[in-house]
Amino acid sequence: MSARNPFRPTFGVSPTILAGRDSLLQSFKLGLAEGPGSPFRALLISGSRGMGKTVLLNEFEDAASSQGWITLRAYPDNSMVQALMNSAIPEALQKLDGPQSKRMLSSVSISGIAAVTTIADPTKKDPTPTLISRLRELATTLQKHGSGILITLDELQSADVEQLHILATAVQDLLRDDFDIALVAAGLPEGIDRLLQHEGTTFIRRAERILLNPVSYQDSVNMFIETTAEGQRQMASDAAELAADISKGYPYSMQLTGSLAWAQSTLDNSDTIQATQVEAVRAEVIRRMGMQVHEPSLHHVPDGELHILYAIAQLSTDGEMVSTGNIAHLMNVKPNALSMQRKQLLSRGLVEVPKYGYLNFTLPYMREHLLSSPQHRPIA
């Protein structure tokens, strides 16, 4: 009974059991093994908050490392390139020739002559290193080991356009010369679209786009059963099915549902998670989704767009899609008056078009959240 909860409802933390990403991982591994011509050498992962972008990046890093590749993590701030050049790449180089450099050092200390040759000639000035020259140096060293460089960049939407341009140009340069290098960036759909409108991000624009989709029902059911088993408890199959229903294939809510159902079974002193325990946490799942996912996603959304969201929430019975005509009617405007805001909401990844002329929420339980939020005022 004292077993540790195996579910991980925490952003950026890899789950005990990864659900439904097998084929993406397989494509990525093939892309590394295939060679610089593979389209999987430049990838752009987009998806809403909690869809599993950071976890997938981590998985890609692990996959690369098991093929002997080195990962350089880029951080999306205005010193991204400097950090790569001055710390990430030198550290990687140092690690690579670690034992070798120690050998050199000891020979220097034994022979005075060797020490003299290491003194740099002050008349010969190295050209100032650039990201390209640094990466080439690393890639050349790695080539001898038959491996390459994976650069990952999370939170792409916060990246600086200039910095991104320098990074993309460098990766492109190395790929052109047949070096083994890959770039994988992940971010929110909205930010990515905005970034890609800038000139200088052409290379990234041509990258293979991966829109992360919800996990399938069956994969989700299996995840619940397997994760629970990892924690030395069992989940009844109808309980796993109910958990998959409630969490709707959305990775964060899957972890949340599992975690809360696990906690409920602890309270009930039960080694098997039953459907009643899953049902008992449904409302808490929805509340926590509101706090952790919906609120942050709505943070910077202007009123005009919020009104559309409230209208969808109000019109949608049971999470059904809503026609734009009905939204406009409820808001007392002409449908084309909404087109700008509709576009914004789409690029924020908050709504999607399940069918021409219709809208629905992207995130599960957004409707419930909006209808229960204190600032909600019925429009009609």
Ligand X SMILES: Nc1ncnc2c1ncn2[C@@H]1O[C@H](COP(=O)(O)OP(=O)(O)O)[C@@H](O)[C@H]1O
How many residues line the site for Mg ion (CB under 5 A)?
A: 2
How far apart CA 364 and CA 376 sit, in angstroms, is 18
Pure H helices in 35-76: 53-66
Binds ligand X by CB under 6 A, chosen from 6, 24, 40, 50: 50
Stretch binding ligand X (CB under 6 A), from 19-27, 135-143, 336-344, 352-360: 19-27
Residue with tokens 């939204």: 327
Out of ligand X, Mg ion, none, what residue 309 binds, judged by CB under 5 to 8 A for its kind, is: none
Query: Would you give the DSSP letter of residue 125?
Result: P
Stretch binding ligand X (CB under 6 A), from 33-41, 53-61, 236-244, 307-315: 53-61
Nearer to Mg ion, 54 or 253 (CB): 54
Tokens for 250, please give them: 């959305």
Which among 230, 275, 272, 277 is positioned nearest to 1, based on CA atoms? 272
Binds ligand X by CB under 6 A, chosen from 31, 32, 41, 54: 54
Out of Mg ion, ligand X, none, what residue 148 binds, judged by CB under 5 to 8 A for its kind, is: none
CA distance readout (Å), 231 to 111, 156, 251, 267: 59, 34, 18, 16
Which among 57, 87, 2, 28 is positioned nearest to 269, based on CA atoms? 2
For β-strands 322-323 and 358-361, DSSP reports them as antiparallel
Stretch binding ligand X (CB under 6 A), from 7-15, 111-119, 198-206, 241-249: 7-15
Helix, strand, coil % in the chain, rounded to nearest 5: 55, 10, 35
Binds ligand X by CB under 6 A, chosen from 5, 6, 8, 363: 8
Q: Is 53 in the site for ligand X (CB under 6 A)?
A: yes
Q: What is the DSSP string of 280-347?
A: HTHHHHHHHHIIIIIHHHHTT--HHHHHHHHHHHHH-STT--EEHHHHHHHHTS-GGGGHHHHHHHHH
Residue 294, Cβ neighbours under 10 Å: how many? 23
Write down the least CB distance from residue 253 to ligand X, Å: 8
Considering only residues 221 to 260 of the shown chain, the ones binding ligand X according to CB under 6 A are 223, 251-252, 254-255
Write down the least CB distance from residue 62 to Mg ion, Å: 16
Write down the least CB distance from residue 14 to ligand X, Å: 6
Q: Is 46 in the site for ligand X (CB under 6 A)?
A: no
Amino acid type, 360:
N
In the shown chain, the binding pattern of residues 196 to 225 toward ligand X, with x for contact by CB under 6 A and - for none, equals -------------------x-------x--
In the shown chain, the binding pattern of residues 34 to 73 toward Mg ion, with x for contact by CB under 5 A and - for none, equals -------------------xx-------------------
Interface residues with Mg ion (CB under 5 A) are 53-54
Interface residues with ligand X (CB under 6 A) are 8-15, 18-21, 47, 49-55, 215, 223, 251-252, 254-255
